[in-house]
């Protein structure tokens, strides 16, 4: 199969199967989920990712992963109600796209991928980490002057110059 003809060919086959099933009054399973608009993003993302991976084309891989991630995110929001429109999800999708771009060509993309992943992870998990830290420190907040005194004594008497 030629990679340039894969996208239009697959789209035509899917459209043909859908209309043929409509003519014979045959209901396809999960059509209420599959025939929503995020599925178009998901399908095009899958095809572009496959073409980018098989042809070692990092630009197709990047755009395919972005569309695949957006399709998954929007299905999660609209169809299943899992997520919401928080900005860290979008930076996480772009981070995964940069990681896949790096894995295809091994040249560039790893630095923005790691930076965006750290930004996304900190934005998604920082409120939980702060709450755990505050719960942990509730009993120890009155001891900080003692710690300062101990550090001061160490600096005065035990630190070698």
SS (H, E, C) 43-74: HHHHHHHHHHHHHCCHHHHHHHHHHHHHHHHH
- Show the tokens assigned to 62: 């990047």
Q: Give the pLDDT score at 95.
A: 95
pTM: 0.68
- Show the tokens assigned to 61: 């891989």
CA distance 145 to 156: 16
SS3 13: helix
Q: How many helices (H) and strands (E) does the chain have?
A: 7, 0
At 22-44, the pLDDT tens digits run 788 777 677 777 777 888 888 88
Q: Give the pLDDT score at 161.
A: 57
Q: Which is more confident, 154 or 15?
A: 154
- Contact call for residues 121 and 149 (beta carbons, < 8 A): no
Q: Which is more confident, 18 or 130?
A: 130
Which range of 30-44, 56-70, 129-143 scores highest in mean pLDDT? It is 56-70
Q: Give the pLDDT score at 41.
A: 87
- Which of 127, 35, 138, 113 lies closest to 78 in space, CA to CA? 35
At 73-131, the pLDDT tens digits run 998 888 777 778 888 999 999 999 999 989 888 888 899 999 999 999 999 888 888 88
Q: Give the pLDDT score at 2.
A: 56
Q: Give the pLDDT score at 70.
A: 94
């Amino acid at each position: 199969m030629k990679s340039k003809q894969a996208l239009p060919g697959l789209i035509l086959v899917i459209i043909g199967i859908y209309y043929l099933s409509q003519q014979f009054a045959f209901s396809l399973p999960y059509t209420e989920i599959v025939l929503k608009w995020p599925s178009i993003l998901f399908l095009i993302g899958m095809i572009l990712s496959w073409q980018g991976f098989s042809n070692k084309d990092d630009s197709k891989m990047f755009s395919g992963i972005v569309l695949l991630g957006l399709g998954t995110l929007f299905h999660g929001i609209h169809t299943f109600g899992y997520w919401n429109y928080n900005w860290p999800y979008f930076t996480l999708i772009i981070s995964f796209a940069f990681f896949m771009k790096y894995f295809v060509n091994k040249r560039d993309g790893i630095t923005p991928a790691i930076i965006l992943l750290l930004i996304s992870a900190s934005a998604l998990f920082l409120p939980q980490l702060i709450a755990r830290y505050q719960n942990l420190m509730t009993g120890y907040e009155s001891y900080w002057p003692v710690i300062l005194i101990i550090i001061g004594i160490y600096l005065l008497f035990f630190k070698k110059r």
